[in-house]
């Protein structure tokens, strides 16, 4: 079982690493956006912590703040699902602007994706990077998510307030035929979810799909 325990540890550690890295980007985004007149509240990615439970069959897990309320996916992993709450809500628009901001700040090398949560508090996010990574960091999502974001992102008023450049002209220049595979996502744009304030076992370790 040593191999399984080691795999469990690596998956839980990666979950913490990805979410807390995205959290640091969100802090910088907030520092730039909050002073702008009319921008208002900025989404926050909550911290996640690694815990060790020696007596448990799955000894390594993660724990985070309890979120209670309507749980919404504001940006999907591969960009194919149209989420009207994302497009029409303030939180959804600001999440998409955050993605655009990160993409521009990293010169298209990194994208925070799978933004979801309750109101302005987000959790369980993903990061996609180019194959070579970005400044030594490699994400946990496919590079295709970056390509699809570049092709499908529609700027909103918050993108304009931050002075972000439209991706439309850039995509037209770089567009090439691609064939990608992505995971099937829930058809419903919203689900109700309560994240209890207790240990959360890494999904990849306990899921039969991985």
List active site positions. 114
Closest C-alpha among 114, 91, 74, 99 to residue 162: 99
In terms of Cβ atoms closer than 10 Å to its own Cβ (0-12, 13-18, 19+), residue 151 is: middle
Contacts 24+ apart (CB under 8 A), 204-209: 204/11, 205/7, 205/8, 205/11, 205/12, 205/58, 206/58
CA–CA distance, 133 with 150 (Å, rounded to integer): 17
CA distances from 24 to 4, 13, 88 (A): 30, 17, 26
């Amino acid at each position: 079982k040593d191999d399984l325990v080691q795999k469990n540890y690596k998956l839980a550690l990666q979950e913490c690493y990805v979410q807390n890295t995205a959290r640091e980007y969100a802090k910088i985004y907030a520092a730039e956006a909050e002073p702008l007149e009319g921008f208002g509240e900025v989404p926050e990615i909550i911290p996640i912590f690694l815990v060790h439970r020696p007596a448990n069959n799955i000894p390594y897990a993660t724990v985070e703040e309890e979120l209670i309320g309507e749980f919404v996916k504001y940006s999907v992993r591969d960009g194919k699902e149209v989420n009207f709450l994302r497009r029409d809500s303030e939180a959804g628009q600001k999440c998409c602007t955050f993605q655009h901001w990160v993409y521009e700040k990293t010169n298209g090398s990194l994208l925070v994706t799978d933004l979801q949560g309750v109101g302005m508090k987000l959790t369980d996010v993903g990061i996609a990077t180019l194959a070579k990574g970005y400044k030594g960091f490699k994400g946990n999502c496919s590079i295709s998510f970056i390509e699809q974001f570049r092709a499908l992102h529609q700027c909103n008023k918050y993108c304009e307030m931050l002075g972000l450049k439209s991706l439309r002209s850039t995509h037209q220049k770089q567009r090439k035929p691609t064939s990608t595979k992505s995971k099937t996502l829930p058809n419903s744009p919203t689900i109700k979810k309560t994240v209890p304030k207790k240990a959360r076992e890494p999904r990849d370790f306990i899921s039969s799909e991985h």
